[in-house]
Amino acid sequence: MKQVKLSPSILAADFARLGEQIEEALAAGAEYIHVDVMDGHFVPNITIGPPVVAKIRPFIQSAGAVMDVHLMIENPGDYVAAFADAGADIITVHVEAAPHLHRVIQAIHETGAKAGVTLNPATPLVTLEEILPDVELVLIMSVNPGFGGQSYIPASTDKIRRLRAMLDAIGSTADLEVDGGIKPDNVAEVVAAGADVIVAGSAIFNRKQSVAANIAAFRAAIA
């Protein structure tokens, strides 16, 4: 299996110190920074848009890290170019929000970004079968998207395992990313099931201990 990468989600960061918190995560060894984009329609919350993505791009680029943008929005194809221009390295869209999914994935690739696809916890993996050969990342949501700090849905582990088998069966090198309720005490289970990119928000950005200490706890649990 590929080396496991960490993608701290800035959804849980202190936005008054956003640049500083991103730098802390990157200095502690995070390979990706996860940006959750929500529109208040596809999910019941509103977060950020391309202007904020453009402002944090220099922090991520200077560290040689990857900006991992997850579009939890309706009509994602309308915004692909704007997020790519703002600096997204990977743009992930929901199968539920993109009835013309191949077209949206093609539009992402045309910008030069890598393309990812994801699905909500109750959406079956069969909806991804036709698009798997065309993407560089597949994201399993292990909570219902919209808010940070939720608990991991236990059935996600089997779903991760089945997706890993699907990717291996077609010889895909796509990242298998998992997002939602992952903490040091359950990350080993998620990795054992086949994940190689771990998204964590409140387990990394919190007041209990430093960002570096939280990332170190993840690394120790994975090891």
- Catalytic positions are 36, 179
Residue pair 47/15 in contact (Cβ under 8 Å)? The answer is no
β-sheet bridge partners, residue 197 = 5, 177
Beta pairing, strands 66-72 & 32-38: parallel
SS3 92: strand
Pick from 103, 120, 109, 179: which is nearest to 148 by CA? 179
What is the Cα–Cα distance from 185 to 202, expressed in whole angstroms? 14
Q: Look at phi and psi of residue 34 and say left if phi exceeds 0, alpha if psi is from -120 to 50, else beta.
A: beta
Amino acid at 4: V
Pick from 146, 145, 180: which is nearest to 160 by CA? 180
Residue given tokens 């996860």 in the structure block: 34
